[in-house]
Amino acid sequence: SVRHIEMCKVKDPFLLWGVPLSVLPSFGFLFDIDGVLVRGKTPIPAAKTAFQKLVNSQGQFVVPVVFVTNAGNCLRQEKADQLSQLLGVPDQVMMSHSPLRMFKRYHDKCVLVSGQGPLLDIAQDLGFGQPITIETLREKHPLLDVVDHDRRPDVLVTVILFGEPVRWETNLQLIIDVLLTSGYPGNPYHHENYPHIPVLACNMDLMWVAEAQSPRFGHGTFMVCLENIYKKITGKDLKYEALMGKPSKVTYQYAEYLIRAQAAERQWQHPIHTLYAVGDNLMTDVYGANLYNRYLEENSRQGSKSRLASAAAAHCRSVLVCTGVYNPHTEVPLDTRASIAETVFHGHRDFRFEPGLVEPDHIVPDVDAAVDLVFQLENFAPN
């Protein structure tokens, strides 16, 4: 169930009788962008008010902040520049593909990239030295020769799905070719080529909201097609080495890494104990934050020492705002909300629906109220 519901602004977040206020943060914010800070290219008024509290006179954040978006069809710097121009905030944008920086073992390998936008620039910016686009592979395909090695490209060792492509049929065909031939498209299919070469996928959104009257197919829909075609041909499941973008754990792990890096750069000595993920979507922002919170709490209990489980935070709290896709005026009773959510759940195949994961810790009108609430919960007053 919803553990706290705050449907009005906190009048005075610093009015905490008898309790000394902290001036050094032991928490960080993970802000969604669309529906929380902006609508399209228009800033939400509450966002400007919120950042007056979050950014000091030197133009620095007073607490660690990362903007976490599932967008992935442009360079990270381009998205950061857009947000800075709209709201005047420092550059701390994280795209759906940003965690690929952690997969250094593939950075010097020949990888096939699929999606839209400046794919080669995006891949190279993330550290990949030998990316090949579907278009390049399509042009080379008629010339592939299993005998003439001089005319055959390097073996493809990984497939990276950045987002939904324009020509779905071409992308589906050539990606299947690569998977079924262990990276040698043009060779005959062999059923023993399983498990297939690694697949890394960003942004699992089944649908996205456009200017059209109804939602458009997103990258998640393309992935559904790819998964089903692969299984129809082989009788086996397509496996992902990693899934990125909200609500995946990898995304929140990388976001927390960026939060901790900010705190270290500013020489804030307090450990970051709590992350507050502020979003407008129950199925991505809230689900992802609650899933990561469970991961943090389980690892805290188990005392895990693994590299990916070395997160310093103890909790990740979900804060739902009412300025985007969530509409409080269509609220339904709690006992029926879970069944409705499961019916419309658009999560990826590998994310099992759990009713408790779509219940936010807090509900507030907008991002400004979210900042006030968190400052109060953390007994925090910026210096």
- Tell me which of 86-95, 108-117, 205-214, 363-372 is least confident: 205-214
Q: Which two tokens stand for residue 181?
A: 């031939």
Residue 346 structure tokens: 């658009």
Is residue 17 assigned to a domain?
A: no
Residue 17 pLDDT > 60: no
Residues 39 and 91 in one domain: yes
Number of separate domains in the chain: 2
> Are 255 and 274 members of one domain?
yes
Instruction: Band the pLDDT of 308: cuts 50, 70, 90.
Output: very low
What pLDDT, on the 0 to 100 scale, is given for residue 210?
A: 57
Look up the domain containing 291 and give its range. Answer: 27-96+247-378
118-147, pLDDT tens digit by residue? Answer: 999 999 999 999 999 999 998 876 544 344
CATH code, domain carrying 324 = 3.40.50.1000
Note the pLDDT tens digit of each residue in 226-241.
Answer: 999 999 999 999 999 9
Across the beta sheet with 130-133, what order do the strands follow?
130-133, 110-114, 158-161, 199-202, 242-244
Give 218's pLDDT tier (boundaries 50, 70, 90): confident
Burial degree of 224 (CB within 10 A; 0-12, 13-18, 19+): middle
Residues 372 and 313 in one domain: yes
| pLDDT score at 20 | 59
